A and B are shown apart, each in its own frame.
Chain A
Amino acid sequence: MSNELEFLSRRVASGKLSRRDFLGRAAALGISAPFANSMLSSAARAAGPVKGGTLKAGLVGGESTNSLDPALFMTQVPFAFGKMWGELIVELSPEGKLENRIAEEIGSSDDAKVWTLKIRDGVEFHNGKTVTAEDVAATLERHSDEKSKSGALGYMKGIETIKASGKEVVLTLKEANADLPYLLSDYHLIVQPNGGKDKADAGISAGPYKVTTNEPGVRHGGERFANYWQGDKMGHADQIELIVINDATARTAALQGGQVNMINRVEPKIVDLIKRLPGVTIRNHAGPGHYVFIMHCNTAPFDNADLRMALKLAIDREEMLDKILRGYGSLGNDFPINASYPLFTEIEQRKYDPDKAKFHFKKSGHDGAVLLRTSDVAFPGAVDASQLFQQSAAKAGIQIELKREPGDGYWNEVWNKQPFCASYWGGRSTQDQMYSTAYLSTADWNDTRFKRPDFDKMVLAARAELDETKRKQMYHDMAVLVRDDGGLILPMFNQFIDATGAKVGGWVDDPHQELMNGYALAKCWLEA
């Protein structure tokens, strides 16, 4: 990097040079615009956050049916708004490390069965009360109640007792789990006064912004909470606003017209067009989300391992990544884990191989076409992807019959019901969570009907293992099992593609969720 550029970028950060002039000079020095842009933002970060102003986001994923009760969060807007007003016990940092929030310290017994959360001093709720161990315990209790309808219930059921004493909360698990702190970073587990047992949708917690406006499906707004416990790190803008814009074109237009500072879910097919707009920066980064075709391992004809292998070899992953995601993603390898998970290990990439596919197909003894159900709602571009699959399989002599299902009711009637269909997964924060949710014999969402007692044992053993090297090996073995014997065909991992407008500073890619894991409005600032 030339010294001159560095000097210039510092001048921009301190407001002595306009951004446009900087880009012009950078171009004159032969520096490409994206690189120059990234230099600028790192300079701005170094210059420090700017306080004040109103940051606005235009987001898809909000409905008039949304509620402020964190247990019921499902879509993107409540998720992102929750990160604004809510405070969690613990959170994942952009680097994938655990970052203590309301818990000051998390420790466990040697067998990972008893966990102790030490509650931080002096964290204040929006209503002026101090966060106590009782509030944290009550929150966890509410989410582990069968009647709570909480999205976190699945994991919370594994907690046997929750006890608050003094400044500590002690959790006893039914079975050992080395990943408990990761589970506690679930976005549903916002700490509320008395756990939200009095009024679950009051919208009161200890986050950087206080709820000022709550119009579900329209807009949500907040103002900076003066007594936020780490105000130097978050809550730079005076006000934040989340505007629900479910229409993709309207969202782009709003960013372009300057009505919002950031948007989520830019469609891969228009990314190249948006990139060229002045002032707009595309923020794409890898995450754990993936697009899949799933076969039920216990239903004919997919109960035949050779047929499953034939179909896995008959899909052209590279073509799909190129045509469906336009390169904004990475190749899948038929197990649901990628580099965004801690303890990930590489396994040899499976490639499109029509000859081998033909061999396995013949060996399976299957005769005739294979029925694949697909729909637009399965994932963006699912119908096109299914057609690509059909064509690449045809070259291997495998006939795939496509049935296009209506999007309405797809998740009730087709997914997890029919033996072969297209679908997607958003991913989880740890491998244990992902495997426990969808690959354990007893899991409700075992959508490939992958039922192997030896695999179940490995999941439980890895969960209780505190030695990282051993654990890594265990996860590697599990991945190989799913990849070679499972019912999962995973052609690609998709990226989160957000976009920001001019003057947005402080952006840091976060692999866990879109919009910096939902924190973009609180962690970014408006450059002067």
Chain B
Amino acid sequence: MSSPILKLVAQRVALGILLLLAVSVLIFAGTQILPGDVAQAILGQSATPESLANLREQLGLNQPAYLRYFHWLGGVLTGDLGTAMSSGQDIATSIKGRLWNTLFLAFWAAIVAVPLAIILGLIAVRYRNGWVDKLISGLALASTSFPEFFIGYVLVYFFAVKWQIFPGISTVYDGMPFGERMQAIALPAAALTLVVLAHMMRMTRAAILNVMQSAYVETAELKGLSAFNVIRKHAFPNAIAPIINVVMLNLAYLIVGVVVVEVIFVYPGMGQYLVDHVTKRDVPVVQAVGLIFAAVYISLNIIADIAAIVANPRLRHPK
């Protein structure tokens, strides 16, 4: 490792932080544009002018927007996400459990999906344009093309209702035994796997096929290596950068894009938490969740970038 790499990495990280700051401004501005305000949302149908005024005063909604932004940013930087306006609970504590649930689900979906996608991609390349390739691609594309809720409902129908192998609702809670927890997340994890599978698998296939056209692969074939060894030793290492990129994109999706799956399977994760608070106009929570999602997305992208840099010999050894 030499200093140009360190410099590149440092640049990426700095860029990421800058981006995050910009996102925080956007999130804050966005939540201000939403119609209605928190006081109205909390009181709902029962809002009378005097109770509205009381609540607005109490929640500090009368301050100018920029002041509230800096106040909020200062809090976030010191780890204080504030308290939820609607329930008065500490946001950081309630998010911790939810975030852990989401990460838990994403982790197990990824453990299944990533190796499966890459192996399927490799197999598809090995038998490219044959029926195996077409079958794998066809099935993967089909499962991705169906909307998530459809896949979810089909899984529930067969596995939860007809055969009753797995539970159809995935309520997990603290202190739930590991085995039960795994059983509870089986169906949502399967749904997520099916959703992200094709993207990664197709990308693996395309990246490796691209490399397969190069002269050194031909040389490897000519010196008598088996088809799988050619892919494993020569093609795959050179195709790894785009694959890592797409894997990271999908991991990010597993964390920030699971709202629909969480709702269908009644999984207590971040997505459901966000939706509940958006409808209540609970701005501090929406901001906190938005920021966490943005941070996850940006940091996974940074990791993808760094991995691509490290994996690329031309970037590792610049002229």
Q: Which residues from A are CB-within-8-Å of B268? A: 64, 215, 217-218
Shortest B187–chain A CB gap in Å is 10
Complex: A443 Cα to B164 Cα, angstroms = 52
B88 / chain A contacts, CB cutoff of 8 Å: 67
Of A247, A412, A415, which is within 8 A of B264 by CB?
A247
The answer to whether B35 touches A217, judged by C-beta atoms less than 8 angstroms apart, is no
Quick check: is B30 within 8 A (CB to CB) of the other chain?
no
Q: At the interface, yes or no: A327 with Cβ under 8 Å from chain B? A: no
User: A199-216 toward B: CB 8 Å interface, digit per residue (1/0)?
Assistant: 000000000000001011
- Residue pair B87, A65 in contact (C-beta under 8 Å): yes
Which residue of the partner chain A has the closest CB to B157?
A: A253
Task: From B40-48, B191-199, B200-208, give the one contacting chain A.
Answer: B40-48
User: Which residues of chain A (216-258) have a CB below 8 Å from chain B?
Assistant: 216-219, 243-247, 249-250, 253-254, 256-258
Interface residues of B in 129-182 (CB under 8 A from A): 153, 156-157, 160-161, 164, 167-169, 171, 173
Are A218 and B171 in touch, CB under 8 angstroms? yes
User: Is A146 engaged at the interface, CB distance under 8 Å to the other chain?
Assistant: yes
> Is A444 an interface residue when CB atoms closer than 8 A count as contact?
yes
Minimum CB–CB distance from A436 to chain B (whole Å) comes to 14
Complex CA–CA separation, A159 to B161 (angstroms): 52
A146 and B35 contact, CB distance less than 8 A: no
Which of B51, B54, B263, B276 is the one whose CB lies under 8 Å from A247?
A: B263
Residues on A with beta carbons closer than 8 Å to the beta carbon of B47: 444
- Give CA–CA (A372, B161) in the complex, Å: 42
Interface segment among A147-155, A171-179, A464-472, A493-501: the answer is A147-155
CA distance A154 to B157 in the complex (A): 46
- Check A257/B164 contact, CB under 8 A, given A65-B86, A219-B171: yes
Asked if residues B160 and A253 are in contact (CB atoms below 8 Å), the reply is yes
Interface assignment of B266: CB less than 8 Å from any CB of chain A? yes
Determine whether the beta carbon of B45 is less than 8 Å from that of A250: no
Main secondary structure on chain B at its contact with chain A? helix
8 Å CB interface, A469-514 against B: none
- Give Cα A243–Cα B268 distance, bound, in whole angstroms: 11
Q: Report which of A74, A149, A154, A253 forms a contact with B168, defined as CB distance below 8 A.
A: A253
Which of B161, B272, B273 is within 8 Å of A253, CB to CB? B161
How many pairs of A and B residues are in contact by the CB < 8 Å rule? 106
Chain A residues positioned under 8 Å from B272 (CB to CB): 64, 217
B161: A residues at CB distance < 8 A:
253, 256-257
Residues of chain B from 258 to 315 with CB closer than 8 A to chain A in the complex: 263-266, 268, 272-273, 276-277, 279-280, 282
B94: Cβ under 8 A from any A Cβ = yes
Q: With a CB–CB cut-off of 8 A, which chain B residues contact A249?
A: 153, 156, 264
Docked-complex contact A64 and B173, CB < 8 angstroms: no
From A146, A151, A154, A259, B50 is in contact (CB under 8 Å) with A146
Q: Contact at B168–A259, with CB atoms within 8 Å?
A: yes
Digit string of B43-83 for contact with A (CB within 8 Å is 1, else 0)?
11111101100110000000000000000000000000000
Q: Give, as a whole number of angstroms, the nearest-CB distance from A359 to chain B.
A: 37
- The listed residue (A259, A444, A445) touching B167 by CB distance below 8 A is A259
Check if B44 sits within 8 Å of A65, measured CB to CB.
no
- Whether A409 sits at the interface, judged by CB under 8 Å, is yes
Identity of the chain B residue whose Cβ is nearest the Cβ of A244 in the assembled complex: B266
A65 touches B46 (CB 8 A): no
Asked if A149 and B87 sit within 8 Å, CB to CB, the answer is no
Cα–Cα distance between A247 and B188 once the two chains are bound (Å): 15
**Given contact pairs A215-B268, A219-B171, A245-B266, A63 touches B164 in the complex (Cβ within 8 A):** no
Number of interface residues of B (CB under 8 A): 44
The 8 Å CB contact of B160, one of A246, A257, A412, is A257
Cα A151 to Cα B51 in complex, Å, equals: 11
Please give the distance in Å from A255's CB to the nearest CB on chain B.
Answer: 10
CB distance from B154 to the nearest CB of A (A): 11
- Bound CA span A67–B42, Å: 12
With a cutoff of 8 Å between Cβ atoms, the chain B residues found around residue A250 in the complex are 156, 168-169, 263-266
Q: Mark A294-318, 1 if CB is under 8 A from B, else 0.
A: 0000000000000000000000000
Q: Is A58 in the interface zone, CB < 8 Å from B?
A: yes
Measured between alpha carbons, how far is A408 from B286 in the docked complex, in Å?
Answer: 15
User: A14 in the interface, Cβ–Cβ < 8 Å?
Assistant: no
Contact B273 A245 (CB under 8 A): no
Q: A413 at the A/B interface (Cβ < 8 Å)?
A: yes
A216-B88 Cα distance, complex, nearest whole Å: 12
CB of B23 within 8 A of chain A?
A: no
Is A399 in the interface zone, CB < 8 Å from B? no
B42 surroundings in chain A (CB, below 8 A): 149
| Cβ of B36 under 8 Å from chain A | yes
B84 within 8 A of partner (CB): yes
Residues A437-477 near B (CB distance < 8 A):
444-445
CB-based contact B276/A63 at 8 Å: yes
Within 8 A of B (CB), among A388-425: 408-409, 411-413, 415
A342 to B268, CA, bound (A): 42
CB distance from B96 to the nearest CB of A (A): 13
Question: A37 at the A/B interface (Cβ < 8 Å)?
Answer: no
Instruction: Tell me the bound Cα distance from A444 to B50 in angstroms.
Output: 11
Q: What is the chain A residue whose CB lies nearest that of B101?
A: A218
Q: In whole angstroms, how far apart are the Cα atoms of A257 and B166 in the complex?
A: 9
CB distance from B162 to the nearest CB of A (A): 9
Q: Beyond the given A63-B276, A213-B173, could you list 14 further A-B residue pairs with CB under 8 A, ordered by the A residue number?
A: A63-B280, A65-B280, A66-B87, A67-B87, A151-B46, A217-B272, A218-B173, A249-B264, A257-B164, A408-B35, A408-B279, A411-B44, A411-B45, A413-B35
Top 7 nearest A-B pairs by Cβ distance? A65-B86, A412-B36, A409-B35, A218-B268, A63-B276, A253-B168, A64-B276
* 9 pairs from A and B in contact (CB 8 Å cutoff): A63-B279, A63-B280, A65-B86, A65-B280, A151-B46, A219-B171, A247-B264, A250-B168, A256-B161
**Residues of chain B at the chain A interface (Cβ within 8 Å):** 35-36, 40-48, 50-51, 54-55, 84, 86-88, 94, 98, 153, 156-157, 160-161, 164, 167-169, 171, 173, 263-266, 268, 272-273, 276-277, 279-280, 282
